[in-house]
């Protein structure tokens, strides 16, 4: 548990006034008690486990789900000034951590974009940046003086860093937060044409992103004319070529798995580079795949003659993890291209290691199998890790040991650990306080981004994710704070 959570809890105890706190709990319809079922289920299922080391570690990590709802949910309401102060401190924290990442980016002090997220996973950091965009624009909207325009600075800054970070979750969270915020701002103008015009523009944006992704997929899947005609049988050294036209992976329009002689490629590559063909390049990718893709992009055959045609600069590029001679894409375009490639790799049952999207599909398969064979009560918290490792061994998974991870989907992780019974109780504890709270922009923003986090990651398996969810959930749904019903989905727009 973080120092901040410990300090809040200690202050709550030292403050006393427990009778007043009890009355506050009753006034708020015991929503805190309902939410505490979330922590209680973890305790009960932990008792059922025989791996108390993992159970105690998980309960320690989940303590904010006990401390923050109790302290915030039984204390006096925060006024708008106090709430704004908390949100501003959240923005400042994001500014500091993203500035460190920017510094590393400018000074090229990183190997891949994950290194730009200093303190926590790049997935969660991308989600937090999205929340930062929404929070900054919320403060911009409710502030009544000229200082409101200062909140546009962190908004722009966070969006820029999301692009630098290159996280798919960050793009999704940032885009959704921006969309919801623009609708909220348009609603505040109180003009129907502005509101619905904004929604139309946002739908156009979603359509444009979808169309761009489809176009990238079609471009990636379209080979040059004649590349499959009359494939050679033998290399110049009279070794057999391998041709796999059914593996639809292309670089610069050339098929990666055509005109390929593994024997010659390995021997000739190992003579030209200090990095063996079965090792990793500087980006942590299996270098054999990098070699195949780079040579293919140049239109070279993957044999001894092709390796001999590589320049010293080409060798260095391959060692550095560059996979094509085509100009590298950046930002959103690079993320889309990478996702398309990984989908095609999964479709063709190719080596998934080092490719996050493909690995996630294997994780989901594993999680669903474990959950479906332990339907009622799951495998308990302490049995989760063993269940995954046993599954990977039983199916002889192509994932390497370091990549044999959990579901990366919080809902599926609930199902795996707690089964149908526990999952239904968990969802009830999360949903009931929400439906009892008037709808407001901050609530919709938080729920939307939390859903992204829950669907794309084991959000609650790390301290940062737990604290983020527990804090904002408690502030928005349990504190009684004056986040008034603001007709985010308006019925009073003129």
Report the pLDDT value the prediction gives residue 489, as an integer from 0 to 100: 43
Report the pLDDT value the prediction gives residue 379, as an integer from 0 to 100: 92
d(CA 154, CA 137): 9
* CB-CB neighbours of 260 under 10 Å: 21
d(CA 302, CA 190): 63
Report the pLDDT value the prediction gives residue 454, as an integer from 0 to 100: 95
pLDDT tens, residue order, the chain (494 aa): 577 788 888 888 888 888 888 888 888 888 999 999 999 999 999 988 888 888 899 999 999 999 999 999 888 888 888 888 999 999 999 999 999 988 888 887 777 777 788 888 888 899 999 999 999 999 998 888 888 999 999 999 999 999 888 788 888 999 899 988 988 888 777 777 777 777 887 788 788 888 888 887 777 777 888 888 889 999 999 999 999 988 888 888 899 989 999 999 999 999 999 999 988 888 777 899 899 999 999 999 999 999 999 999 999 999 998 888 887 666 677 777 777 777 777 777 777 877 777 888 899 999 999 999 999 999 988 889 999 999 999 999 988 888 899 999 999 999 999 999 999 999 999 999 999 888 889 999 999 999 999 998 899 988 999 999 999 999 999 987 766 544 444 443 33
Report the pLDDT value the prediction gives residue 365, as an integer from 0 to 100: 92
Q: Given CA atoms 103, 107, 160, 151 in this order, what sign does their dihedral have? A: positive
Report the pLDDT value the prediction gives residue 431, as an integer from 0 to 100: 95
Q: Is 238 left (phi over 0), alpha (psi -120 to 50) or beta?
A: left
Closest CA to 311 of 327, 298, 292, 329: 298
Report the pLDDT value the prediction gives residue 491, as an integer from 0 to 100: 40
Report the pLDDT value the prediction gives residue 187, as an integer from 0 to 100: 79
Report the pLDDT value the prediction gives residue 108, as an integer from 0 to 100: 78
Q: Given CA atoms 187, 192, 196, 198 in this order, what sign does their dihedral have? A: negative
In this prediction the pTM is 0.81
3-state secondary structure of 348: coil
Report the pLDDT value the prediction gives residue 482, as an integer from 0 to 100: 61
Report the pLDDT value the prediction gives residue 329, as an integer from 0 to 100: 66
For the chain, give every domain's residue range: 81-219
């Amino acid at each position: 548990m973080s120092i901040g959570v410990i300090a809040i809890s200690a202050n709550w105890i030292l403050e006393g006034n427990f009778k007043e706190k009890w009355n506050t709990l009753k006034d708020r319809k015991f929503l805190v008690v309902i939410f505490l079922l979330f922590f209680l289920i973890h305790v009960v299922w932990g008792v059922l486990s025989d791996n108390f080391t993992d159970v105690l570690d998980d309960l320690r990590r989940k303590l904010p789900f006990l401390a923050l709802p109790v302290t915030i949910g039984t204390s006096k309401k925060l006024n708008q000034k106090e709430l704004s102060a908390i949100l501003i401190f959240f923005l400042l924290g994001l500014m500091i951590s993203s500035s460190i990442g920017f510094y590393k980016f400018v000074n090229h002090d990183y190997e891949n974009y994950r290194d730009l997220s200093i303190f926590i996973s790049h997935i969660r950091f991308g989600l937090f940046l999205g929340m930062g965009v929404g929070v900054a624009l919320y403060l911009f909207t409710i502030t009544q003086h000229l200082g409101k325009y200062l909140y546009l600075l962190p908004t722009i800054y966070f969006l820029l860093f999301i692009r630098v970070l290159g996280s798919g979750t960050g793009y999704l969270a940032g885009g959704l937060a921006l969309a919801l915020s623009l609708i909220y701002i348009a609603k505040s103008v109180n003009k129907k044409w502005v509101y619905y015009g904004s929604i139309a523009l946002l739908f156009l944006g979603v359509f444009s992103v979808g169309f761009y992704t489809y176009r990238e997929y079609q471009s990636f899947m379209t080979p040059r004319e004649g590349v499959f005609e009359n494939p050679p049988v033998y290399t110049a050294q009279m070794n057999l070529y391998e041709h796999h036209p059914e593996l639809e992976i292309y670089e610069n329009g050339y098929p990666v798995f055509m005109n390929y002689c593994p024997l010659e490629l390995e021997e000739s590559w190992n003579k030209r580079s200090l990095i063996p063909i079965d090792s990793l390049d500087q980006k942590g990718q299996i270098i054999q795949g990098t070699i195949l893709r780079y040579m293919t992009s140049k239109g070279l055959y993957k044999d001894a003659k092709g390796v001999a045609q590589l320049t010293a600069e080409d060798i260095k590029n391959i060692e550095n993890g560059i996979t094509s001679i085509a100009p590298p894409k950046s930002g959103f375009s690079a993320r889309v291209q990478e996702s398309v490639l990984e989908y095609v790799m999964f479709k063709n049952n190719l080596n998934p290691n080092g490719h996050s999207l493909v690995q996630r599909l294997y994780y989901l398969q594993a999680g669903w199998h474990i959950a479906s064979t332990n339907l009622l009560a799951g495998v308990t918290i302490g049995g989760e890790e063993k269940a995954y490792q046993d599954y990977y061994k039983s199916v002889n998974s192509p994932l390497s040991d370091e990549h044999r991870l959990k579901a990366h989907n919080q809902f599926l992780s609930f199902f795996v650990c707690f089964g149908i019974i526990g999952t239904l109780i968990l969802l009830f504890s999360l949903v009931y306080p929400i439906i009892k709270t008037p709808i407001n922009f901050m609530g919709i923003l938080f729920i939307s981004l939390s859903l992204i986090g829950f669907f794309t990651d084991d959000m609650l398996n790390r301290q940062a994710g737990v604290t983020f969810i527990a804090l904002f959930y408690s502030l928005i749904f349990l504190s009684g704070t004056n986040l008034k019903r603001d007709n985010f989905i308006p019925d009073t727009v003129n």
